[in-house]
């Protein structure tokens, strides 16, 4: 598996160096990816800056049509994209195919949007019009858990709005982004999209670059804070979609056998490596034992293995550094709680962790206070609804959450008291392209998706005319 290139100014070029990409299902090198240096980063930003005047002046219907062509090109190669995604990220092949399909849908969705001028006020004395103008060069920085769709959520609205892009994927999952760059080289004018890869060493230079107008970043809260610091020098526009410690609250009227599979899926999707996965589960005392038993059964029945193997339901942790962190959470679970199922790594090559359910664990445990980003779910007991809402809100994070009940009105009332950007009722992980997604507290700044996600890549200009 060779031949990957950076994309700079419409040309596919080798990197100044190389880095190994590890298949997390084997722990061995999959291939080498080109690695950019500072000079190539500057070239990419310069190319995007040079392309901006013409691209921003291109009529919106033409920009939309090119987004559709990109979507069609990805769709044609969906199988290759999915297999490559599984090899570099680890998720089971059907889930990888779903991510590619959602990526195609994302590009097509943003191609349908528009931000025409709006008349805000008109009377005998004045006419006030709001316009939305593109910002310039956008740095799109993506993580390793959903490297394709999270890129499209940035590239789609950025391009439609008239911006140009420098994309930088996580160094452990660069291959699908580089493959997307090959399609951009065929379809888009030179410099409109550029793709560089680093070893986590060029982030400050990119996010602090004076010619970058906006940074769209998805990743950890700790890194998001560094991005914000780097962007402060030029007051860049920011969209930060950061970490979460999503709480799910199960009310007493829930049928454990009916709800447990949905809750389990909400916690263990992508081996728990999702910012909006259920990270803490609070269950009413009257059904606590039954829910723990059902979740334990589901964990024991889950087929963990190489994502390319038929029948695999859960893949590995994506990289060794995260694997070591998850092992630390397993140790915390053994020390502070009771393991219902799992609790160990698999004795095989690769970064595999058994899906783990932990009960009788205190609120102060690391597994409860921190974002585990792995298939380890703490289940906590409660009896008073006011108390559990307070416990759920006792966190620096506020990305997502969910409430489970057969009484939808009561569930809505509880959901309204959860301090998170999104709260679901009787479901989790339901993110619609036409629905804005934003974090509260230290889970982010700004919104992605929906009309708000498009507006985030523009500067509103008010024209106030006297009559």
Q: How far apart are CA 187 and CA 128, in angstroms?
A: 38
3-state secondary structure of 108: helix
- Phi, psi of 137, rounded to the nearest 5 degrees: -85, 130
- Where do we find the tokens 């998850």? 326
Say if residue 110 is exposed, middle or buried (CB neighbours under 10 Å; 0-12, 13-18, 19+).
buried
3-state secondary structure of 26: coil
Strand partners, 23: 28
**Dihedral sign for Cα atoms in the order 214, 192, 142, 158:** positive
- Phi, psi of 293, rounded to the nearest 5 degrees: -65, -45
Cβ within 8 Å of residue 122, ≥6 positions away = 128
State yes or no: is 241 an active-site residue.
yes
Say if residue 123 is exposed, middle or buried (CB neighbours under 10 Å; 0-12, 13-18, 19+).
exposed
Q: How far apart are CA 166 and CA 418, in angstroms?
A: 36
Residue in 88, 275, 448, 455 annotated catalytic: 275
- Phi, psi of 19, rounded to the nearest 5 degrees: -140, 150
Residue in 88, 99, 241, 294 annotated catalytic: 241
Q: How far apart are CA 284 and CA 382, in angstroms?
A: 5
In 3D space, the residue among 287, 281, 283, 244 whose CA is nearest the CA of residue 265 turns out to be 281
In 3D space, the residue among 227, 64, 70 whose CA is nearest the CA of residue 143 turns out to be 227
Half-sphere exposure of 296 (CA within 13 A, CB side): 14
Which of the residues are catalytic? 241, 275
């Amino acid at each position: 598996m060779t031949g990957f290139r950076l994309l700079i100014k419409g040309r596919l070029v080798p990197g100044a160096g190389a880095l190994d990409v590890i298949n997390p299902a084997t722990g061995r090198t999959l291939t080498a990816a080109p690695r950019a240096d500072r000079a190539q980063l500057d070239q990419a930003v310069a190319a995007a800056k040079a392309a901006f005047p013409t691209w921003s002046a291109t009529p919106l219907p033409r920009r939309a049509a090119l987004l559709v062509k990109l979507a069609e090109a990805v769709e044609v190669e969906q199988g290759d994209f999915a297999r490559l995604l599984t090899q570099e990220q680890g998720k089971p092949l059907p889930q990888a195919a779903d991510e590619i399909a959602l990526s195609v849908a994302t590009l097509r969705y943003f191609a349908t949007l528009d931000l025409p001028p709006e008349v805000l006020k008109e009377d005998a004395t004045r006419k006030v019009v709001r316009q939305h103008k593109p910002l310039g060069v956008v740095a799109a920085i993506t993580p390793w858990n959903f490297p394709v769709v999270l890129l499209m959520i940035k590239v789609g609205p950025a391009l439609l709005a008239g911006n140009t892009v420098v994309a930088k994927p996580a160094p452990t999952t660069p291959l699908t982004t580089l493959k997307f760059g090959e399609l951009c080289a065929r379809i888009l004018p030179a410099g409109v999209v550029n793709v560089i890869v680093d070893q986590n060493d060029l982030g400050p230079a990119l996010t602090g670059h004076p010619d970058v107008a906006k940074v769209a970043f998805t990743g950890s809260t700790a890194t998001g804070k560094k991005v914000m610091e780097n962007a402060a020098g030029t007051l860049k526009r920011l969209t930060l979609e950061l970490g979460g410690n999503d709480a799910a609250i199960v009310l007493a009227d829930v049928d454990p056998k009916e709800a447990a599979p949905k809750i389990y899926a909400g916690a263990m999707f992508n081996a728990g490596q999702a910012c909006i996965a259920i990270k803490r589960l609070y269950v009413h005392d009257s059904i606590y034992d039954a829910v723990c038993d059902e979740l334990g059964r589901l964990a024991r029945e889950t087929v963990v293995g190489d994502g390319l193997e038929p029948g695999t339901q859960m893949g590995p942790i994506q990289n060794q550094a995260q694997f070591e962190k998850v092992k630390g959470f397993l140790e915390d679970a053994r020390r502070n709680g009771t393991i219902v199922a799992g609790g160990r790594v698999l004795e095989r090559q690769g970064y595999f962790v058994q899906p783990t359910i932990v009960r009788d664990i205190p609120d102060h445990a690391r597994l409860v206070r921190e974002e585990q980003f792995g298939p380890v779910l703490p289940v906590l007991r409660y009896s008073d609804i006011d108390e559990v809402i307070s416990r759920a809100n006792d966190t620096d994070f506020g990305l997502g959450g969910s409430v489970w009940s057969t009484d939808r009105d009561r569930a809505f009332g509880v959901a309204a008291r959860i301090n998170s950007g999104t709260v679901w009722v009787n479901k989790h992980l339901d993110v619609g392209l036409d629905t804005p997604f934003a974090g509260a507290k230290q889970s982010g700044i700004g919104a992605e998706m929906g009309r708000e996600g498009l507006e985030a890549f523009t500067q509103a200009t008010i024209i106030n005319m006297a009559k």
